[in-house]
Amino acid sequence: MAGLGSCMMFLLFGSLCLIITPLAEAAIRKYQFDIQVKNVSRLCHAKPIVTVNGRYPGPTIYAREGDRVLVNVTNHAQYNLSIHWHGLKQYRNGWADGPAYITQCPIQSGSSYTYDFNVTGQRGTLWWHAHILWLRATVYGALVILPKPGTPFPFPKPAREFEILLGEWWNNDVEKVENQGNRMGLPPNMSDAHTINGKPGPLFPCSDKHTFAMEVEQGKSYLLRIINAALNDELFFAIAGHSLTVVEVDAVYTKPFTTQAILIAPGQTTNVLVQANQSPNRYFMATRAFMDVPISVDNKTATAILQYQGIPNTVLPILPQLPASNDSAFALSYNKKLRSLNSAQYPANVPLKVDRNLFYTIGLGQNPCPTCVNGTKLLASLNNISFVMPRVALLQAHYFKIRGVFRTDFPDRPQKPFNYTGVPLTANLGTSTGTRVSKIAFNSTVELVLQDTNLLTVESHPFHLHGYNFFVVGTGVGNFDPAKDPAKYNLVDPIERNTVGVPTGGWTAIRFQADNPGVWFMHCHLELHTGWGLKTAFVVEDGPGQDQSVLPPPKDLPRC
C-alpha cells in the first residue's frame, strides 16, 4: 500500500497517511478517527449508532510490517470509550493497547488521544474495536498489515483482496440492551441479525439494498480477510459452490488446507484463498452461529454475494450448505487442522521448557441480587473469582505504584478441585469478586490450561490474551489430565494465535514466553461473559535489560 495511489485511497476513506516510496523500509501512517453518532437503518429500523468517521464498519487501517502508526481518536459521542488494536503485541507499549481501565482510562466525550505504536514482526489480518461496554457492536474495523516490500506471501499471489467483517445487529440501542440484562440479572436480548460488512443480506426484511457484494473474474484467485467482530457468537462461514483454502489465522501463516466452511470465534481472524473456478453465476456467502449446548443464540443466516463478472443482478444466488448449528464434530475437526507454517522464514518457536504452570477453570454462577428477577444475578469466573473492573487503569497503577487498585494474588489453580465437566452443578462454590491478577517474571515461559466446567452449563469460550501471541499446544474434551494429556501435546507446529476457543466441556493448553513487560488483559471474547467477570490480567515484570521495561506513558494519556 505504499506510494501516491495508496495515499489517495486512504484519503478517500477519511484517513491520512504520508506519501512514501515503494522501496521505503518503514513509514509513518497517520489516521484520524472521529467518533460520531450517526443514524443508520437496518431491518426496517433506523437508530443512532456510534461510528468512526461516520462509517459502519469503520475504516480499514493499512500498514506494512515495520511501520509506525499514529491514530488520533477524537470522541464526539456521549460515551467515554477507548480503542483496542486487537492482536498487535505493543512491545513495552501497553499505553497504546486500549482496553479501558486496564491500560488506560477511557477517552472522555469531547477529548482526544493519539495511539502511537510500531508494527514489529507481524504481518497479516488483525482488527480494531472499541474496548468498553458493548460499543464494539458498531465501532470496529479491519487492520491489514502487509509484508515488508519485496517479501511475497508464502502462497500464490491473489488477484485481489477483500475484507469480510462478520458482526451482529440489534434493532434497539445496544447499551440499553446490556443495561436491561444487568438490571434483571439475566442474559440480555440476543441480536436481531448477523451482518457481513455491516449488512445482513437479502434474507432479512428491508435488506435487499443492505447486501455486500464482491465481483470476481473467472479463473482468478482472491484473498478474503475474514474477521469475526460479533459480540457473542462463534460463526460458521462458507461460500456456495466454492472451497476455502485457509492460509493464515490471527496474522500467523498456516499450513494451507482446504475446507468447505470455516469456524471463527469472536476476536479471531482467518485468511482464505478462493478460486473463482465455478460456472459464472451469483453465489451466496453465508454466516450462522455455532452453539452446541441449549443456549439461545441468534441462529438466523446472514448473507453476502460473490458475483462473477457479466452476471446480471436479477439472477437468484445459490445458498451454501453450512454445518449444523450444533456440529461439535466439525468444530473439533476444523480446529485440529490448524497448524503453524513452521518454515525457515516463519518458524514456530514453541517454548519447550515451562517455568510456570497455570490451571484456570471457567465457570458460570449466580450471586444474590434482591432487585433482580429471580433474586439472583448471573456472573462468570476464572478459578471461582469474578473480576471487578477498577476505576484506575491497572497499567497506570502498576507503573506509578498506586496502591489499593489491584492485588497480585490470583491463584495459579482452583481453590476447590472437583469433577469439572461431570453432572451439571448449580452451586457456585462460593464465587468471590475482586480485582486480582497474576504476577509473571519477565522472560519466563508460561503454560496455561483453560478448563471449561459444568457450573450451570458447559459452553465454548474464546479467550483473548492482549500483548502476546501464544501456541495452542493441546486441546481435548472432558477434564484435563496432567498425567496423560501433556504427552499428546503438539510441540512441533502448533497453531500460533491471540484468541483461542476452549471447546464445550473441554480444555485448551497454551504456551507463551512472557517477554513483553506491562499489564496485559486476558478475557473471554464473548462480550456477555466479559461483562459478567470472565477476565483477569497478567502483570509481567520489567526485565533487567535496557529495553526490557515499560516505556514511559505519553503526555496526553487519558486520566480517570
Q: Is the alpha carbon torsion for 264, 268, 273, 277 positive or negative?
A: positive
Instruction: Report CA torsion sign: 288, 289, 290, 293.
Output: negative
Q: What is the pLDDT of residue 1?
A: 39
How large a percentage of the chain has pLDDT more than 90? 90
- The SS3 assignment for 308 reads strand
d(CA 451, CA 381): 12
- Residue 4 pLDDT greater than 50, yes or no: no
The CB density around residue 69, as the number of other CB atoms within 10 Å, is: 23
Can you tell me the distance from the alpha carbon of 48 to that of 495, in angstroms, rounded to the nearest whole number? 40
CB of 376 closer than 8 Å to CB of 368: yes
Report which residue type is found at 23.
L
Residue 83's contacts (CB-CB under 8 Å, 6 or more residues apart) are: 33, 71, 73, 98, 115, 128, 129, 130, 131, 139
Tens of pLDDT, residue by residue over 215-243, are 999 999 999 999 999 999 999 999 999 99
Closest CA to 529 of 83, 253, 231, 251: 231
Helix (H) or strand (E) holding 394: helix 394-399
Contact 143, 88 (CB under 8 A): yes
First to last CA, the chain: 37
272, three cell numbers: 482464505
CB 446 within 8 Å of CB 399: no
Dist CA 166 CA 201 (whole Å): 12
Contact (CB, 8 A) for 178 and 188:
yes
Position 2 pLDDT exceeds 70: no
Q: 506-513 and 518-524: which strand pairing?
A: unpaired
Asked whether residue 50 carries a pLDDT value surpassing 60, the answer given is yes
Place of cell 484517513: 15
pLDDT at position 214: 97
Residues in a beta bridge with 432: 385
Q: Tens digit of pLDDT for each residue in 491-524?
A: 999 999 999 999 999 999 999 999 999 999 999 9
| pLDDT value at residue 474 | 98
Nearest of 50, 35, 244, 210 to residue 138 by alpha carbon: 50
| Cα separation, 190 vs 351, whole angstroms | 40
Please provide residue 291's backbone torsions phi and psi, each rounded to the nearest 5 degrees: -150, 115
Query: pLDDT of 86-102, one tens digit each?
Result: 999 999 999 999 999 99
- Output the pLDDT for position 25: 62
> Mean pLDDT across the stretch 13-35?
64
Task: Please give the full DSSP string across 479-535, using - where no structure is assigned.
Answer: S--TTTGGGG---SSB-EESEEEEPTTEEEEEEEE--S-EEEEEEESSHHHHHHT-E
Q: State the pLDDT at residue 416.
A: 87
Distance separating alpha carbons of residues 23 and 27, to the nearest angstrom: 10
Confidence of residue 298 (pLDDT cuts 50, 70, 90): confident
pLDDT in tens, 336-386: 999 999 999 999 999 999 999 999 999 998 889 999 998 999 999 999 999
> Phi then psi for 527, rounded to 5 degrees?
-60, -30
Predicted confidence at residue 460, as pLDDT, reads: 95
The answer, yes or no, to whether residue 105 has pLDDT greater than 70, is: yes
Lowest mean pLDDT among 34-48, 172-186, 193-207, 503-517: 172-186
Mean pLDDT for all residues in the chain: 94
Say if residues 537 and 519 touch (Cβ distance below 8 Å).
yes
pLDDT tens-digit map of 131-168: 999 999 999 999 999 999 999 999 999 999 999 999 99
pLDDT at 16 over 70: no
- Residue-wise pLDDT for 468-496, tens only, equals 999 999 999 999 999 999 999 999 999 99
Instruction: Determine the average pLDDT of the residues in 525-544.
Output: 97
Which region among 43-52, 113-122, 181-190 has the lowest average model confidence (pLDDT)?
181-190
Give residue 85's pLDDT band: very low, low, confident or very high (50, 70, 90).
very high
pLDDT at 211: 96
Report how far residue 255's alpha carbon sits from residue 338's, in angstroms, rounded to the nearest whole number.
7
Write down the residue that cell numbers 485448551 correspond to: 508
The dihedral through the CA atoms of 4, 9, 14, 20 has a sign that is negative
417-470 pLDDT, tens digit each: 999 999 888 777 778 999 999 999 999 999 999 999 999 999 999 999 999 999
DSSP string, 92-138: T-GGGT--BTTTBPPBPTT-EEEEEEE--S--EEEEEEE-STTGGGT
